[in-house]
Structure 1
Amino acid sequence: MKRSWVPPTTWTVLGASAMTTVGILPVFLLSSQSVFVRADLDFDERRFGVAVSAFFVAAAASVLLGGGLVDRWGRRTSTAVAGLLTAAGGFGVAWAARSWLVLTVAMVILGVANAACQVTSNVTMAKVVPPHRQGLGFGVKQAAIPLAITLAGLAVPTVGALLGWRWTFALTGFGGLAIALVSLRLPSATVAGSRPLGALDRPSTAALVTTMIAVSLASAAGNSLGAFVASWGFRVGLTPDVAGLLMATGSAVNLVVRVVSGHLADRRHGRNLPVVAAQMLIGAAALAVLSFPSEPTVVAAGLIAFAFGWSWPGLLLYAVVRVSRDAPGAASSYLQAGAFVGGAAGPALFGAVVAASGYETAWRVAAMLFAVAALLVIVARRMFIADLIARPPVHPIGYGGGRKAPAYTTPPRRLAQTGERGSSGTSTVGDASS
């Protein structure tokens, strides 16, 4: 039997990244080809906005209502469901969308499919990738988001120009079928999948909700940056080519920083949430500077905002999954819901502020959102740690930083049951982090 040159962990990370890309790609395909889609189906910008929002609203609702199902179903079933939903939505747009209403229904299906893809890939990373490689793995996985934006842009002059915009969605449908076929080779259940959903050991709901709000605010600011920085650059004097180059360079640097942040996370035991908060604060400072109408300022601040202010999603996801106990699907669903809500609402609110008060005010409001999100991440950090101390998980978790060994480790569950406390049970709240 020939030995594969690619380690199993690498295949897992690449598979999760591919699922992430396929899940989020349809909304970027719709945005990049909006002119052709609207001309073919004969509807205006308002209805186009509704179709895009329907994707994110469906994703947010389904990830909150059904995210925990992935923990119960196991990888095989959830992967199959994600693939079949993606295929149904992709082929629905390609072959059945002859009106705005049918297109919107198909985008709702694709939104649900995206939620299934994201949560399933998160659970796959948490269950299969070794703990000492999960930081890098989540960094690579979340780098799939800027990759999807790039692919959507390339689809216009290639597949779209040669075969028409419908075929770009048909390829998404074939991608969904490929995911469903891959599911046939996966184990039929996981350890958690064999247990009732209510019996799973879950992290603090209050901490997850706090983190979800932080993600919503930070995603609103980050998505506004991606949606409006080119228009702002053109307004202050940059040529369209330079503004486009600024976005492309910023996205490329962002991809690298996401991967490097994950790699560095694997070299320490926890203390990831303070790094996330620092990245958000750098983003806040960069957006505040970006509000000054100067070409050099916009270029420099824009690159910093892309590179660091929008580099936290993978690291935050990894930090929360580390303390998710038996329920990585349910835990990550809160983060994904926050990202979907922020992605849908952020650019719309930013545009409203621009119309009312101008770009300068809008950038400063976005900077405030980043700053508040950073504060909430620190609050959530303390809540997660307090929960680890009050309810030690079945499997001990190391946290609080440290290179060779964690600064703190949760005590065995039996200590909590007898009322005893480990050495980390009295003084870690202010000194440790996820």
Structure 2
Amino acid sequence: MADLTENTPQAVTYARPTRTVLAATVVTVAGVLPVFLIGGLAVQLGAELDFSPAGLGLAVAVYFGVSALASVPSGALVERYGPAVVARASLLLVAAAMLAVATVARSYPVLLVLLAVVALANPLGQMASNATLAHRVPPGRQGLSFGIKQAAIPAGTLLAGAAVPAVALTVGWRWAFVAAAVLALAILPVVPAGGRRTSSPAQRRGERATGALVALGVAGTLAAGSANALGTFLVDSAAARGLSPGLAGLLLTLGGAVCLVSRVLMGALADRRSGGHLNVVAGMLAVGAGGLGLLHLAGSAPLVIGVVLAFGLGWAWPGLLNFAVVRLHPQAPTTATSITQTGVYAGGCLGPLSLGTLADHLGYPTMWLVAATAMLLAAGLMLTGRRMLLTALRRRRDGADPTADSPTVDNPSRIPRQRQTPPTPTERTESGETDSAVA
């Protein structure tokens, strides 16, 4: 990866974008696979290590809580040392922790500690992947690349599910974690070599957190908290309504498949637009909120329609959000996405805990209505964050506040010229030539 510095312009080359997307995708899968394995093997783990469904919920909350705390530091590490170094460190951490689970996890507290350790690998891999896609994939294909990367997360659930009959029920659950460690090590050669860092210290200071990014992060917290409830409570909720466990499981599989396809499709469509991405995210959340609201109704039709809408739109936005933030912060994409990703991880931690408690006391129908309301609020916050970004871009473009805490993408003098050909419409928006640059 080219070492992009403020005073040393270099031409950007996009060698092997397919391999770049593949590497970012498999690194992302490796980072999220541990928590999905814990969920997929919960029956076997719970029987041997003696923990209840509440213990499983706590384990998942610990994983995403640690990921949230480590997100911003992980972004700083990627900016300092480069995505290749950090991606390899993430894979090695996954391999070591998974081997530790397989060999020394003899009690629930030990499992919890090891899960907290491996949770550090998740934001490291995510931030490294974001930087890799931002700098090594051509602008016209970045939306699709981010969609594919984020589709790797629901795909990870398929791997975890396959581990149950293929490994856990044949040779034992510990070998599933050994297989995960081997997979992480096998991915190492796929990570492309790159420069030491992706931006200079001056550029990182210019891309520091803004109120707009914080607003988007809070929106991510509300949206992810509501959407994570789908994977956590859908099967139990459907079974409580009288659906057989088998059909409830198939319904979850349907939702995961719809989510996977939708994330890729939304990314591909983003490449066809010159802006308005955050508006699209807000619209997806609004429709997804409607899907969550349908889940509180009785009957099979509202259930199926609600699952399709909630998964297909209410949980398909993370790639598009990352893409929009990266396009607005091309000099330091990981610094920016680490802030919004913190909110997403926080939602993964707080959502299932709070909504699960609500379901225990007031029932699933009420829980789904609260989740729908939270997702609708997230849509409003997305629009608020967009307006804040528009204001910041205009202020810097007009020179009203050159030290404003806002993105530097509207100041072309600070971005080295990469080529002599005319910029594309998307690249023009990044340079602050139009207000629709706010994705």
- Give the TM bin, normalised by the shorter chain: 0.7 to 0.9
- Counterpart residue type for residue 12 of structure 1: T
Which residue number corresponds to residue 153 of structure 1?
161
Which residue number corresponds to residue 405 of structure 1?
425
Shift of 1:262: 0.7
Map 1:236-255 → 2, pairs under 5 A: 236-255=241-260
Q: Secondary structure at the match of 2:281?
A: helix
Equivalent residue pairs, number: 405
| Deviation per residue, 1:318-348 (Å, 9 max, x gap) | 1111112321111111222222111122122
Which residue number corresponds to residue 30 of structure 1?
38
Which residue number corresponds to residue 133 of structure 1?
141
Which residue number corresponds to residue 226 of structure 1?
231
Which residue number corresponds to residue 265 of structure 1?
270
Which residue number corresponds to residue 401 of structure 1?
none
- Counterpart residue type for residue 263 of structure 1: A
Shift of 1:13: 0.7
1:341 paired residue among 334, 340, 346: 346
Q: Please tell me whether residue 91 in structure 1 is matched to residue 93 in structure 2.
A: no
Contact kept in structure 2, 1:136 and 1:259, CA below 8 Å: yes
Which residue number corresponds to residue 289 of structure 1?
294
Q: Secondary structure at the match of 1:68?
A: helix
Give the Cα–Cα distance (whole angstroms) in 2 for the partners of residues 396 and 188 of structure 1.
17
Give the Cα–Cα distance (whole angstroms) in 2 for the partners of residues 335 and 266 of structure 1.
21
Map 1:194-209 → 2, pairs under 5 A: 195-196=200-201, 199-202=204-207, 204-209=209-214
Contact kept in structure 2, 1:137 and 1:262, CA below 8 Å: yes
Map 1:9-408 → 2, pairs under 5 A: 9-183=17-191, 186-192=193-199, 195-196=200-201, 199-202=204-207, 204-391=209-396, 392-393=410-411, 394-395=414-415, 405=425
- Counterpart residue type for residue 22 of structure 2: L
Give the Cα–Cα distance (whole angstroms) in 1 for the partners of residues 388 and 30 of structure 2.
34
- Counterpart residue type for residue 292 of structure 2: L
Shift of 1:305: 1.5
Contact kept in structure 2, 1:202 and 1:325, CA below 8 Å: no
**Structure 2: segments with no counterpart, 5+ residues:** 1-14, 397-409, 418-423
Contact kept in structure 2, 1:280 and 1:309, CA below 8 Å: yes
Query: CA separation of 1:32/1:268 partners in 2, compared to 1, >3 Å: closer, same or farther?
Result: same
| Deviation per residue, 1:7-49 (Å, 9 max, x gap) | 8111111111111111001111011111211222234444443
Contact kept in structure 2, 1:72 and 1:197, CA below 8 Å: no
Query: CA separation of 1:33/1:411 partners in 2, compared to 1, >3 Å: closer, same or farther?
Result: closer
Q: Secondary structure at the match of 1:325?
A: coil
Contact kept in structure 2, 1:215 and 1:373, CA below 8 Å: yes
- Counterpart residue type for residue 327 of structure 2: R
Contact kept in structure 2, 1:75 and 1:187, CA below 8 Å: yes
Give the structure, 1 or 2, with the largest relative contact order (CA under 8 Å, sep 6 or more).
2
| Deviation per residue, 1:389-409 (Å, 9 max, x gap) | 333332399xxxxxx735964
Runs ≥4 in structure 1, deviation > 6 angstroms?
Answer: none
- Counterpart residue type for residue 302 of structure 1: V
Contact kept in structure 2, 1:63 and 1:116, CA below 8 Å: yes
**TM-score, normalised via structure 2 length:** 0.86
Give the Cα–Cα distance (whole angstroms) in 2 for the partners of residues 385 and 375 of structure 1.
16
Shift of 1:180: 4.0
**TM-score, normalised via structure 1 length:** 0.87
**Structure 1: segments with no counterpart, 5+ residues:** 1-6, 398-403, 413-422
Query: CA separation of 1:233/1:209 partners in 2, compared to 1, >3 Å: closer, same or farther?
Result: same
Give the Cα–Cα distance (whole angstroms) in 2 for the partners of residues 103 and 243 of structure 1.
29
Which residue number corresponds to residue 10 of structure 2?
none
Give the Cα–Cα distance (whole angstroms) in 2 for the partners of residues 135 and 209 of structure 1.
22
Give the Cα–Cα distance (whole angstroms) in 2 for the partners of residues 273 and 198 of structure 1.
24
